[in-house]
Structure 1
Amino acid sequence: MERAEVLKRVIGILTEAQEIRRAAEAGEDDDSPDTEAGVINQLLNEMLPSISVPAESSPQEVARLVAEALGPALHTMVSGFSLAFTSLAMAHDAGRTDMSSVEVLQQLALEVEAGTYGENS
Structure 2
Amino acid sequence: MDYAEIMPRVVGVLTRNMEINEQLRQDPSGVSISVDGLADQFVQDMVPLRFEVPAGASPQEVAEAIAAEMFPAIAKMVSAFSFAFTQLAEYHDAAGPERTAADVLREIALRANSFDAD
TM-score of the superposed pair, with normalisation by structure 2: 0.67
Whole-Å separation in 2 of the counterparts to 1:42 and 1:87: 24
Separation in 2 of the partners of 1:96 and 1:16? 26
The amino acid that maps onto 2:73 is A
Residues of 2 paired with 1:96 and 1:17: CA distance? 25
Preserved contact between residue 20 and residue 35 of structure 1 (Cα < 8 Å): no
Label 1:47 to 1:96 Cα distance change in 2 as closer, same or farther (>3 A): farther
Match of 1:90 in 2: 90
1:41-60 alignment, distance < 5 Å: 41-52=40-51, 53=53, 56-60=56-60
Alignment of 1:1-121 (within 5 A): 1-27=1-27, 30-32=31-33, 34-35=34-35, 38-52=37-51, 53=53, 56-95=56-95
Per-residue deviation, 1:67:
1.8
Higher RCO by CA contacts (8 Å cutoff, separation 6 or greater): 1
Once the two structures are TM-superposed, the CA of residue 16 in structure 1 deviates from its matched residue by 1.0
Where structure 2 has 5 or more consecutive residues not aligned to the other structure, the ranges are 98-118
Equivalent-residue separation in structure 1 for 2:3 and 2:67 (angstroms): 19
CA distance in 1, matches of 2:70, 2:61: 14
CA 1:22–1:51 in 2, change beyond 3 Å: closer, same or farther? same
| Distance (Å, rounded) in 1 between the aligned partners of 2:39 and 2:32 | 15
Kindly tell me the number of residue pairs found equivalent between the two proteins.
95
CA–CA separation in structure 1 for the residues paired with 2:12 and 2:96: 21
The corresponding residue for 2:111 is: none
Tell me the residue number matched to 1:104: none
TM-score normalized by structure 1? 0.66
State, as a whole percentage, how many aligned pairs show the same letter. 41
Q: CA RMSD in A?
A: 2.4
- 8 A contact 1:51–1:69 mirrored in 2: no
Query: Aligned in 2, Cα 1:96/1:12: closer, same or farther, shift over 3 Å?
Result: farther
Tell me the CA shift for residue 51 of structure 1.
2.9
Please give the alpha-carbon distance, in whole angstroms, between the structure 1 residues aligned to 2:3 and 2:62.
Answer: 26
Q: Which of these two proteins has the greater Rg computed from alpha carbons?
A: 2
Q: Does the Cα contact within 8 Å between 1:7 and 1:80 map onto a contact in 2? A: yes
